[in-house]
Amino acid sequence: MRKKIEKDAGERMVRTGCPSHNCGGRCLLRVFVKDGVITRIEGDDRPGDTLEDPQLRACIRGRGYRHRQYHPDRLKVPMKRVGKRGEGKFARISWDEAVDRVAGEMSRVKGKYGNSAMFVPYGTGGYSQITGRQTAQRLMNLFGGSLGFYNSYSWAAIAAATPTVYGTSVTGNQRQDWLNSKYILMWSWNPAEARDGTNSEYFIRMARERGARTVCVDPRMSPSAVSLADEWVPIRPGTDTAMMSAMVHVMITEDLCDREFIRTHCVGFDETQMPPGCEGEESYRDYILGTQDGTPKTPEWAERITGVPRATIARIAREYATTKPAVLYQGYGMQRRAYGEQVVRAGCVLAAITGNVGIPGGWAGGMALQAPDGGPLWIVFPTGHNPVKASIPSFLWSEAVLRGKGMGPEDGVVGVDRLDNNIKLIYAVASNCLVNQHANINRTAGILRDEERLEFLVVQDNFLTSTGRFADILLPACTQFETWGVEDGWKYGDEVLLMPKIVEPPFETKSDYAICAEIARKLGIGEAYTKGRDERGWVEWALDRYRKTRFPGLPSLDEFERSNAGVYSVPVTKPAVAFEDFRRDPVGHPLPTPSGRIEIFSQKLFDLKKPASIPAVPKYIQEWESPFGPEAAKYPLQAVGHHGLARVHSTLDNVDWLNEAFPQRLFINPLDAGPRGIKDGEAVRVFNERGATVVPCRLTTRIMPGVVTLPQGAWWTPDEKGTDRRGSINVLTSERWTPFAFGNAQHTIMVQVEKAKGR
Ligand SMILES: Nc1nc2c(c(=O)[nH]1)N[C@H]1C(S)=C(S)[C@@H](COP(=O)(O)OP(=O)(O)OC[C@H]3O[C@@H](n4cnc5c(=O)[nH]c(N)nc54)[C@H](O)[C@@H]3O)O[C@H]1N2
Ligand SMILES: Nc1nc2c(c(=O)[nH]1)N[C@H]1C(S)=C(S)[C@@H](COP(=O)(O)OP(=O)(O)OC[C@H]3O[C@@H](n4cnc5c(=O)[nH]c(N)nc54)[C@H](O)[C@@H]3O)O[C@H]1N2
Ligand code: SF4
Ligand SMILES: [Mo]
C-alpha cells in the first residue's frame, strides 16, 4: 500500500527532521508532496536499524502534523490590535505597516528607556536553528541588545543543582550503556509519553530484554510505568527527597553503602570528611540518622510523608544498593517543584554512595547531559553578543515587567548589581510562555493588560495563541516545513537532521528569519543581520560548523539535499561513560568542584547561609503548598500538569486527530471522585484561589489518591466569568520560584475539585 503511494505520479517524498518544537525528540519524517501540498507523513524507513544507530521513529504528533500544517486557523496576514490589549480584536495591516510599527517601537523604547527595557522571552516553538526566538535575539543584539535571561522552564532546578554535586551537568552516559545495567530506577521519568530523546524508551526496553529490572517512581501510573516497568511505586508529589533519605537510612544501618568509593571520591558524607572550616557542621550521615535534628530519616518516617510503605522503601533501597550496576534516572517533573533542587542533589548522592558513578551500566544522576562533551544542544544560530549585561532567570520576566527597576541578586539578577529598567517592550517569537505556559495566568494576564506598564508586545507565531491575544502586533510566521532548518539530537544521540523547505509559505506568511531580516533592514542593520545569507545559506553555515567541530564526515548541503537522506548519524559503538577518568583516578582527574570530589556537603551552598531553604546537604523540605500545610483544609488535592502525548506544550492543542485520541481530561482517583459525587466523564471544576477551570474528568486508579493531574499545555480559554473551559493547568499554578535556581515550580499546587454546575 505504502509503495503504491510512493509511486503515485507527480508525488515526491522528502526526508526531513520533524518540526517537533521542543517535544523532547528529534525524529525523521518522510513527507509526501503532490502539487505543492503535503499529502501524507510517514516515519523513518532507513534499513539496518541497529542499537548503535537506531531508526528515529516518529510519534503520533509528527505523523499527525498535517492537521497542524493545514489548519484553517493558521495566521495568514499581519495584524494590529484594535480593541483593548488582551481582548483579542485585530485588524489586517500590510507587511510594510507591520515592519514600520515594530521597528518604530523598538527605536522609541530604546530612545526613551534604553535597550535594557526590551526583552525576547523564553519560547521553544522554533527549534530548527534558523527559526524561533533566536532570530529576534540576533536582531535585538545588533540593535544594541536587550535584557537577557538564563536557565529554562524545563530544567532550571536540575541544571543548577547538578553542578553543586559534580561541578558539571555532563553526568550522563550514552544511552546504549543502559544495556549494561541490571536495575533501572525511573524516578519521575516518563519517556514513553514525555519524550526525553528519541529512542530513550527503546533503549530501556532493550535493557529489560537483557534482564534489567525497572521500577517507576511516580504519582501516576504513567505510560512508562505501564509499558516499561516491572513495578510502579506511587509517591506523594514533592516528597521524593524523603523517600531517598530513608533509602540512605537503610543503606547506612544495613551497611550497604560503597564505603571505599565514598572515602576516595566524596566529601561531606560523614564527620570524617567535612570541608575545612565546616568540621562541626551537620554531615549527610548526621542528617540521615537525626543526630542533630533528632529525627532519624527512617522508612517509617518517610512512609508518613511519601505514602510509600516502609517495606517498599527498604526493599527498593536494598535492590538499588546491591543490584549493580544500577541507573537512577531523574526526570524533570520532580524538580519543576518547590525546593526542586533538593531532590536532584539527593538522587545524585544516592548514585554516589552506592558507587554507581563512572562505571558502565551505572549512572550518576542529575542533569545527565551526554558524555563525553554534553552532546547536542551546542551549536545554535548565532545570536551574537548582547551588549546589555543584565540577565534574569527565564521565569522571572513577569516580575521584571512589574518591578524590574531595582531588581537584584535576591531575584536572581546577574551581570549587573540592579536592573535599571522595567521591561517595556517584548518581542515574543515561537513562545506561548507569556500567558499559556507561564504560571498563574490570571495574574499574568492582568500584568500584560496594563498598556502603560508594558508598552509594546509583538507576537510572531503560526496561530493566534493565548499569548497572541495580548499582542499589539501579530506577525504570521510560516511553519518549519515552509522554510529551511537543521536539527541536532534533543539531549542525546549524535545526529544532524536536515529540514529542507518542502512547500511554499502560504498566504502572507514568512519565515521568522525573513521577518526579522526585514525589521533589521528598516533599522539600518540589514546587512549585519543577514551577512548576505538567506535561510538556506544559514543552514549551510550551520552544517559547516558541525563538520568542523563534531562531525567531520558530514556531507555538504548540496550533497545532503541531493541524497534525500534527511539525517546524518554517527553510530555509537563504544558508549561513553561519564566520570570514567575520575572514577579511575580521582586525584589525577578531579571533578570541577571546589574539593575536586563529589560534594555531598556543599560548602558553596553552606556559605549562602540559608539552611532552611538551601541546606548544604540534600534535605526533605515540606513544599509551600502541601497536603501537610494549612492550605490543605480548603484545597486538599495535589495537582500536577504532566507533559502528555497529545501535545508539545501548547503546540498541537488545536489538532483534531490528537484531541480525538487524547481528549483533555482531569485524571482523578475513584477514591477522590466518589465522595465528591463525581462520575467518569463528567465535567468538573478544578480551582484554588488563583483560578478555576472546567474540564471533563477521567476516573482512574492509575493516579494515586490525593493527587490529580491535568496535562499541561491546553489553550487558556476563559469564559465571560473568567473560568477557563479547556483544562489549562496554568490558571491554577503559582508564580513562586525555587530558592536556589530561581526556577519555575509549576508542579507544586493544591486544588479542590467539585462537580461542575450547569454544563
Ligand atoms: N509528549 C511530550 N513529550 C515531551 C514534551 C511535551 O510537551 N510532550 N515536552 C518536552 C520538554 S520541553 C520537557 S522539558 C520534558 C519534560 O519532561 P518532564 O519534566 O520529566 O515531564 P513531566 O510530565 O513534567 O514529569 C515527568 C513525570 O513526573 C511525574 N511527577 C510530577 N511530580 C512528581 C514528583 O513530585 N515526584 C515524582 N516522583 N514524580 C513526579 C509526572 O507525573 C510525570 O509522569 O518533556 C519533553 N517531552
Ligand atoms: N504548568 C506547567 N507549565 C509549563 C510546564 C509544565 O510542566 N507545567 N512545562 C514548561 C516547559 S518544560 C516548557 S519547555 C515550556 C514551553 O513553553 P513554550 O516554549 O511557550 O512552548 P509552546 O507552548 O509549545 O509554544 C510554542 C509556540 O511556538 C509556536 N511555533 C511553532 N513553530 C514556530 C515557528 O517556527 N515560528 C514561530 N514564530 N512560532 C512557532 C507555536 O505555535 C506555539 O504557540 O512550558 C512550560 N510550562
Ligand atoms: S517525538 Fe517529537 S520529533 Fe519525534 S515525531 Fe514526535 S513530535 Fe516529532
Ligand atoms: Mo521544557
Taking the centre of ligand 3 as the mean of its atom positions, its distance from the CA of residue 60, in whole angstroms, is: 8
Taking the centre of ligand 4 as the mean of its atom positions, its distance from the CA of residue 332, in whole angstroms, is: 9
**Please, which pLDDT band fits residue 1 given cuts at 50, 70 and 90?**
very low
**Which pLDDT does position 21 carry in this prediction?**
84
Any atom of ligand 2 within 6 Å of the Cβ of 137: no
Any atom of ligand 1 within 6 Å of the Cβ of 56: no
715: nearest Cα among 693, 699, 734, 688: 693
Residue closest by Cα to atom 6 of ligand 3: 59
Over residues 742-747, the mean pLDDT reads: 98
Phi, psi of 82 (to 5 degrees): -115, -30
Taking the centre of ligand 2 as the mean of its atom positions, its distance from the CA of residue 485, in whole angstroms, is: 18
Per-residue pLDDT at 2 exceeds 50 = no
**Which pLDDT does position 759 carry in this prediction?**
52
Taking the centre of ligand 4 as the mean of its atom positions, its distance from the CA of residue 395, in whole angstroms, is: 12
Ligand that lies nearest to the alpha carbon of residue 746, given by its number in the listed order: 2
**Which pLDDT does position 377 carry in this prediction?**
62
Any atom of ligand 1 within 6 Å of the Cβ of 122: no
Per-residue pLDDT at 721 exceeds 60 = yes
Element (H, E) at 755: strand 749-755
Question: What is the spatial distance between Cα 327 and Cα 177, in angstroms, rounded to a whole number?
Answer: 10
Taking the centre of ligand 4 as the mean of its atom positions, its distance from the CA of residue 655, in whole angstroms, is: 20
**Which pLDDT does position 379 carry in this prediction?**
63
**Distances from the Cα of 700 to the Cα of 416, 470, 533, 673, angstroms:** 50, 37, 54, 10
187: nearest Cα among 63, 366, 8, 453: 366
Any atom of ligand 2 within 6 Å of the Cβ of 483: no
Any atom of ligand 2 within 6 Å of the Cβ of 509: no
Question: What is the spatial distance between Cα 613 and Cα 550, in angstroms, rounded to a whole number?
Answer: 41
Ligand that lies nearest to the alpha carbon of residue 194, given by its number in the listed order: 1
Question: What is the spatial distance between Cα 481 and Cα 469, in angstroms, rounded to a whole number?
Answer: 25
Residue closest by Cα to atom 1 of ligand 3: 25
| Residue 154 · residue 680 · CB < 8 Å | no
Taking the centre of ligand 2 as the mean of its atom positions, its distance from the CA of residue 652, in whole angstroms, is: 10
Asked, as a colleague might, if the bond just before 611 is cis with ω within 30 of 0, I would say no
Give burial (CB, 10 Å; 0-12/13-18/19+) of 531.
exposed
Ligand that lies nearest to the alpha carbon of residue 640, given by its number in the listed order: 1
- Report how far Cα 57 is from the mean position of its chain's Cα atoms: 21
Taking the centre of ligand 4 as the mean of its atom positions, its distance from the CA of residue 179, in whole angstroms, is: 27
Any atom of ligand 2 within 6 Å of the Cβ of 66: no
Any atom of ligand 2 within 6 Å of the Cβ of 21: yes
Question: What is the spatial distance between Cα 261 and Cα 251, in angstroms, rounded to a whole number?
Answer: 14
Taking the centre of ligand 3 as the mean of its atom positions, its distance from the CA of residue 542, in whole angstroms, is: 22
Measured from the Cα of 651, ligand 2's closest atom is: 24
Per-residue pLDDT at 648 exceeds 80 = yes
Taking the centre of ligand 4 as the mean of its atom positions, its distance from the CA of residue 194, in whole angstroms, is: 10
Taking the centre of ligand 4 as the mean of its atom positions, its distance from the CA of residue 22, in whole angstroms, is: 7
Ligand that lies nearest to the alpha carbon of residue 75, given by its number in the listed order: 2
Over residues 654-673, the mean pLDDT reads: 97
Measured from the Cα of 641, ligand 1's closest atom is: 24
Any atom of ligand 2 within 6 Å of the Cβ of 262: no
Question: What is the spatial distance between Cα 692 and Cα 98, in angstroms, rounded to a whole number?
Answer: 36
Any atom of ligand 2 within 6 Å of the Cβ of 733: yes
Over residues 747-758, the mean pLDDT reads: 95
The amino acid present at 36, given as its one-letter code, is G
466: nearest Cα among 730, 208, 672, 694: 730
**Which pLDDT does position 378 carry in this prediction?**
63
Ligand 2, pocket-test mutation among 510, 649, 650, 653, most atoms within 8 A of CB: 649
- Give the pLDDT confidence of 515-569 residue by residue, as tens digits: 999 999 999 999 999 999 999 999 999 999 999 988 999 999 999 999 999 999 9
Exposure string over 323-361, b if 16+ CB within 10 A, otherwise e: ebbbbbbbbbbbbbbbbbbbbbbbbbbbbbbbbbbbbeb
Ligand 3, pocket-test mutation among 21, 57, 195, most atoms within 8 A of CB: 195
The amino acid present at 382, given as its one-letter code, is P
Element (H, E) at 217: strand 213-217
Over residues 739-744, the mean pLDDT reads: 98
Per-residue pLDDT at 704 exceeds 50 = yes
316: nearest Cα among 214, 181, 173, 180: 214
Exposure string over 537-575, b if 16+ CB within 10 A, otherwise e: ebbbbbbebbbeebbeebbebeebbeeebbbbbbebeeb
Measured from the Cα of 124, ligand 2's closest atom is: 19
Question: What is the spatial distance between Cα 462 and Cα 508, in angstroms, rounded to a whole number?
Answer: 12
| Residue 351 · residue 357 · CB < 8 Å | yes
**In whole numbers, what is the pLDDT of the chain averaged over residues?**
96
- Give the pLDDT confidence of 581-594 residue by residue, as tens digits: 999 999 999 999 99
The amino acid present at 278, given as its one-letter code, is C
Ligand that lies nearest to the alpha carbon of residue 704, given by its number in the listed order: 1
Any atom of ligand 2 within 6 Å of the Cβ of 649: yes
Taking the centre of ligand 4 as the mean of its atom positions, its distance from the CA of residue 154, in whole angstroms, is: 4
Q: Which residue has the cell 541497529?
A: 50
Any atom of ligand 1 within 6 Å of the Cβ of 222: yes
**Which pLDDT does position 127 carry in this prediction?**
84
Measured from the Cα of 195, ligand 1's closest atom is: 47
Per-residue pLDDT at 6 exceeds 60 = no
Cβ-proximal residues to 47 (8 Å cutoff; 6+ apart), any chain = none
Ligand 3, pocket-test mutation among 21, 42, 198, 481, most atoms within 8 A of CB: 198
Taking the centre of ligand 1 as the mean of its atom positions, its distance from the CA of residue 308, in whole angstroms, is: 21
Over residues 55-60, the mean pLDDT reads: 96
Question: What is the spatial distance between Cα 623 and Cα 487, in angstroms, rounded to a whole number?
Answer: 38
| Residue 68 · residue 648 · CB < 8 Å | no
Give a three-class secondary structure readout of 167-207.
Answer: CCCCCECCHHHHHHCCEEEEECCCCCCCCCCCCHHHHHHHH
How many percent of the chain have pLDDT more than 90? 95
- Cβ atoms < 10 Å from Cβ of 195: 24
**Distances from the Cα of 19 to the Cα of 41, 495, 503, 671, angstroms:** 12, 15, 14, 41
Q: Which residue has the cell 564527620?
A: 271
Taking the centre of ligand 4 as the mean of its atom positions, its distance from the CA of residue 471, in whole angstroms, is: 23
The grid cell for 731 is: 490558571
The maximal CA–CA distance of the chain, rounded, in angstroms, is 80
Q: Note the pTM of the prediction, 2 decimals.
A: 0.97
**Which pLDDT does position 217 carry in this prediction?**
98
Any atom of ligand 2 within 6 Å of the Cβ of 463: yes
Domains of the chain with bracketed CATH? 79-151+386-483+504-552 (3.40.50.740), 157-366+582-606 (3.40.228.10), 630-755 (2.40.40.20)
| Residue 91 · residue 79 · CB < 8 Å | yes
Kindly write down the DSSP assignment for every residue of 270-329, as one continuous string. Answer: SGGGPPTT-TTS--HHHHHHTTTTS----HHHHHHHH---HHHHHHHHHHHHHSSSEEEE
Over residues 664-671, the mean pLDDT reads: 98
| Residue 422 · residue 401 · CB < 8 Å | yes
Per-residue pLDDT at 758 exceeds 80 = no
733: nearest Cα among 360, 441, 467: 441
Cβ-proximal residues to 337 (8 Å cutoff; 6+ apart), any chain = 157, 237, 238, 343, 623, 738, 745, 747, 748
Question: What is the spatial distance between Cα 313 and Cα 639, in angstroms, rounded to a whole number?
Answer: 24
Ligand 2, pocket-test mutation among 643, 647, 650, most atoms within 8 A of CB: 650
Taking the centre of ligand 3 as the mean of its atom positions, its distance from the CA of residue 198, in whole angstroms, is: 8
- Give the pLDDT confidence of 251-299 residue by residue, as tens digits: 999 999 999 999 999 999 999 999 999 999 999 999 999 999 999 999 9
Question: What is the spatial distance between Cα 594 and Cα 610, in angstroms, rounded to a whole number?
Answer: 19
Over residues 608-619, the mean pLDDT reads: 98
Measured from the Cα of 128, ligand 2's closest atom is: 35
| Residue 170 · residue 370 · CB < 8 Å | yes
**Please, which pLDDT band fits residue 20 given cuts at 50, 70 and 90?**
confident
The grid cell for 532 is: 548576505
- Give the pLDDT confidence of 202-222 residue by residue, as tens digits: 999 999 999 999 999 999 999
Ligand that lies nearest to the alpha carbon of residue 18, given by its number in the listed order: 3
Per-residue pLDDT at 744 exceeds 60 = yes
Taking the centre of ligand 1 as the mean of its atom positions, its distance from the CA of residue 643, in whole angstroms, is: 5
Taking the centre of ligand 2 as the mean of its atom positions, its distance from the CA of residue 745, in whole angstroms, is: 17
Cβ-proximal residues to 536 (8 Å cutoff; 6+ apart), any chain = 484, 501, 557
The amino acid present at 171, given as its one-letter code, is T
The amino acid present at 672, given as its one-letter code, is D
- Give the pLDDT confidence of 314-339 residue by residue, as tens digits: 999 999 999 999 999 999 999 999 99
Measured from the Cα of 483, ligand 2's closest atom is: 35
Taking the centre of ligand 4 as the mean of its atom positions, its distance from the CA of residue 99, in whole angstroms, is: 31
- Report how far Cα 262 is from the mean position of its chain's Cα atoms: 32
Any atom of ligand 1 within 6 Å of the Cβ of 195: yes
Per-residue pLDDT at 4 exceeds 70 = no
Kind of pairing between the strands at 473-476 and 183-187 = unpaired
The grid cell for 280 is: 562541626
Kindly write down the DSSP assignment for every residue of 121-146, as one continuous string. Answer: ----S--SSSSSHHHHHHHHHHTT--
Pocket lined around ligand 3, Cβ cut-off 6 Å: 18, 20, 23, 25-27, 58-59, 61-62, 195, 198
Question: What is the spatial distance between Cα 278 and Cα 269, in angstroms, rounded to a whole number?
Answer: 12
